[in-house]
């Protein structure tokens, strides 16, 4: 792939269509961690900067759920510490993010369903992975919310309205967890079984990974009937970002898994790239 000088990016299409990522973000504590998952993120970020030269990052996070769909259009998005009970170092973790108001406002003008706002920032579904992907905060970033009252088909359809951003040099990142049963996972803490996945989690991870590889969005939308589906996705908030990412796959593009781990028995850290 040709590496484009950053000065060639303009308001028009670029000569390089940016990839799409899905990242299983897991615990907010990963922001402070040096482990195989965070090392993977660091290498992923280095590789995309070297070979794709994106100009910005758009994140669809499991932690911005709204009525209606919004795009964060601040020039300097605030860091949102949307959790409790963690060490002080996490509640004050600095990530000097810069926003991308230009692309955010362009997206809002491009889609009648997406509205610009400056009332949000970067929640932990965004900054806890960005801090490892791009530790120097060299890329402007902005978020699109999840209209949580809509059916899954809505999100698959809406993803197509983000497609043009890939041609403008924007890397699109879905951040959630394909398997995400927090209650069952918390029951495993301290009992010595954190490293062992529940049977239903393993079954759904196998099933969903094959459907993602096949880009079978119809099957993934109807996940409730899959092996372990109801236990693995008790609520769809962390699942929806994966659908956005996969729906952005173009004809001829392939899904490449970049990381695979089940943690706490019921949370999948599986990550993939589409290019």
Residue 9, pLDDT above cutoff 70: no
Among candidates 100, 99, 94, which has minimal Cα distance to 127?
94
Nearest CA-CA partner of 28 in 19, 16, 37: 37
pLDDT (0 to 100) of residue 194? 59
Domain ranges within the chain, ordered by starting residue: 16-274
pLDDT in tens, 192-247: 555 668 999 999 999 999 999 999 999 999 999 999 999 999 999 999 999 999 99
22-32: string of b/e by CB count within 10 Å (b at 16+)? bbbbbbbebbe
According to the model, what pLDDT value does residue 179 have? 98
pLDDT tens-digit map of 142-189: 999 999 999 999 999 999 999 999 999 999 999 999 999 999 998 876
pLDDT at 15 over 90: no
CA dihedral 19, 22, 23, 26 (to 10 degrees): 160
Q: Is the pLDDT of residue 250 over 80?
A: yes
Cβ atoms within 10 Å of 175's Cβ, excluding its own: 29
Residue carrying the six token digits 């394909």: 178
Alpha-carbon distance 79 to 61, whole Å?
14
Find the helix or strand (DSSP H, E) in which 86 lies. none
Q: 10 Å Cβ neighbour count for 213? A: 14
Q: What is the pLDDT, as a whole number, of residue 7?
A: 33
- Alpha-carbon gap, residue 131 to 137, rounded angstroms: 7
Task: Please give the residue that has the higher pLDDT: either 237 or 12.
Answer: 237
Residue 8: pLDDT over 60: no
Strand partners, 21: 173, 273
pTM: 0.92
Residues 128, 24: contact at Cβ < 8 Å?
no
pLDDT digits (tens, 9 = 90+) for 100-150: 999 999 999 999 999 999 999 999 999 999 999 999 999 999 999 999 999
What's the mean pLDDT in 12-24?
82
Q: In a 10 Å sphere around its CB, with 0-12 CB exposed, 13-18 middle and 19+ buried, how is residue 122 labelled?
A: buried
Place of tokens 């927090």: 182
> Is the pLDDT assigned to residue 191 strictly greater than 70?
no
Q: Which residues, in sequence order, are bridge partners of residue 51?
A: none
Q: What is the pLDDT of residues 51-99, one digit of tens each?
A: 999 999 999 999 999 999 999 999 999 999 999 999 999 999 999 999 9
Nearest 5°: the CA angle 249, 49, 13 is 55
d(CA 231, CA 204): 9
- H helix runs in the chain, sequence order: 36-51, 88-91, 101-110, 124-133, 152-159, 163-167, 182-186, 199-213, 217-221, 229-232, 240-247
Instruction: Return the pLDDT at 224.
Output: 98
- Residue for token digits 């970033």? 141
Alpha-carbon distance of 188 to 194, in angstroms, equals 6
What span, in angstroms and rounded, lies between the C-alpha atoms of 110 and 104? 10
Assigned architecture for domain 16-274: 3-Layer(aba) Sandwich (3.40)
């Amino acid at each position: 792939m040709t590496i484009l000088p950053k000065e060639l990016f303009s308001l028009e299409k670029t000569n390089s269509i940016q990839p799409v990522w899905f990242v299983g973000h897991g615990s907010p504590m990963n922001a402070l961690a040096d482990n195989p998952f965070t090392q993977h993120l660091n290498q992923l970020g280095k590789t995309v900067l070297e070979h794709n030269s994106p100009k910005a990052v758009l994140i669809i996070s499991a932690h911005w759920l709204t009525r209606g769909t919004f795009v964060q259009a601040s020039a300097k998005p605030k860091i949102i510490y949307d959790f409790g009970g963690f060490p002080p170092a996490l509640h004050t973790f600095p990530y000097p993010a810069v926003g991308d108001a230009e692309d955010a406002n362009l997206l809002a003008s491009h889609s009648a369903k997406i509205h610009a706002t400056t009332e949000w920032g970067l929640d932990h579904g965004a900054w806890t992975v960005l801090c490892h992907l791009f530790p120097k905060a060299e890329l402007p970033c902005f978020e699109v919310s999840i209209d949580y009252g809509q059916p899954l088909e809505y999100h698959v359809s809406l993803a197509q309205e983000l497609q043009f951003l890939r041609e403008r040099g924007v890397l699109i990142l879905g951040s959630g967890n394909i398997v995400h049963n927090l209650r069952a996972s918390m029951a495993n803490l301290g009992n010595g079984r954190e490293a062992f996945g529940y049977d239903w989690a393993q079954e759904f991870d196998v099933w969903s990974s094959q459907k993602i590889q096949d880009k079978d969005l119809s099957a993934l939308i109807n996940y409730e009937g899959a092996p372990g589906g109801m236990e693995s996705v008790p609520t769809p908030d962390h699942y929806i970002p994966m659908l956005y990412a996969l729906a952005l796959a173009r004809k001829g593009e392939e899904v490449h898994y970049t990381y695979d781990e089940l943690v706490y028995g019921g949370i999948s850290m599986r990550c993939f790239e589409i290019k």
